[in-house]
């Protein structure tokens, strides 16, 4: 059952590296490079599925023998996750040679994967001891709580924290921010141009209004108070 907590973390590292690879190569990425990421993703998913199946069978074994032991299926799943971890490090080392070609923000993704590699390795060691070893301290049922906390829970928390920081370091795309601003301006213009209402003529028609002030007025007109003010102004003209 270790794969439930371990596989998503490994998939996160692989996803960050894939994002970095896309930023470096863009549309010029080779098909072989794309296939490597797909293959590793498949291996991680297979390790997750086999780990869950092995854990379920081990749980059924408790009713028969009274003992909890991971079978061969669960061990194969752990072996796949070990191989995926090693392959992910190789991919990271390969991207290190061309990381200078990536945008400055995207370079942080590589360092995030490197920083998460150590706590992820600790979590992987716990999975190996719990699955492949017969030590009672790492048993899922009778295991040591302190060992589980220090070797499983805390490393998982650190990896997730590193991923979150790496995600926030990318920030929002400028194109997305510009599109949001354009939508707000268009909505403001739609609310301002009410049918049957004649727009007020400015006393200085040749003078351009400050775009910041214009945008603020349009946003204000979208609010409830803005609608009330427009209604009062419309009645005063009548």
- Res 9: pLDDT: 93
For 11-59, the pLDDT digits (tens) are 999 999 999 998 888 777 888 888 999 999 999 999 999 988 887 777 7
Q: pLDDT band at residue 177, thresholds of 50, 70 and 90?
A: very low
Question: Average pLDDT of 113-137?
Answer: 87
What confidence category does residue 203 fall into, taking pLDDT thresholds of 50, 70 and 90? Answer: very low
| 37-41, 46-50, 100-104, 177-181: segment of lowest average pLDDT | 177-181
What mean pLDDT comes out for the span 3-10? Answer: 87
Query: Is residue 233 over pLDDT 90?
Result: no
pLDDT at 43: 94
What CA–CA distance (Å, rounded) separates 68 from 61? Answer: 7
What does the pLDDT look like over 149-175, one tens digit per residue?
898 899 999 999 999 998 888 876 555
User: Taking all residues of the chain, what is their mean pLDDT, rounded to a whole number?
Assistant: 77
pLDDT tens per residue, range 63-89:
666 666 677 888 898 899 999 999 999
């Amino acid at each position: 059952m270790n794969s439930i907590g371990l596989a998503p973390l490994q998939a996160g590292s692989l996803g960050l590296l894939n994002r970095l690879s896309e930023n470096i190569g863009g549309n010029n990425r080779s098909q072989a490079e794309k296939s490597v990421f797909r293959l590793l993703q498949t291996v991680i998913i297979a390790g997750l599925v086999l780990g869950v199946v092995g854990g379920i069978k081990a749980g059924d074994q408790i009713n028969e023998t009274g003992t909890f032991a991971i079978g061969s299926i669960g061990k194969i799943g752990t072996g796949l996750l070990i191989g995926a971890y090693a392959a992910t490090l190789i991919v990271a080392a390969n991207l290190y040679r061309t990381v200078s070609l990536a945008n400055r923000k995207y370079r942080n993704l590589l360092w995030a994967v490197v920083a998460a590699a150590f706590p992820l390795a600790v979590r992987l060691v716990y999975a190996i001891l719990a699955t492949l070893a017969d030590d009672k301290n790492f048993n899922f049922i009778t295991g040591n709580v302190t060992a589980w906390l220090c070797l499983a829970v805390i490393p998982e928390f650190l990896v997730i924290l590193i991923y979150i920081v790496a995600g926030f370091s990318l920030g929002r795309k400028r194109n997305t921010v510009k599109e949001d601003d354009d939508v707000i301006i268009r909505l403001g213009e739609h609310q301002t141009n009410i049918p049957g209402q004649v727009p007020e003529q400015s006393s200085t028609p040749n003078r351009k209004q400050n775009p910041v002030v214009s945008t603020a007025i349009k946003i204000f007109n979208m609010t409830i108070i803005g609608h009330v003010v427009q209604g009062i102004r419309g009645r005063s003209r009548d």
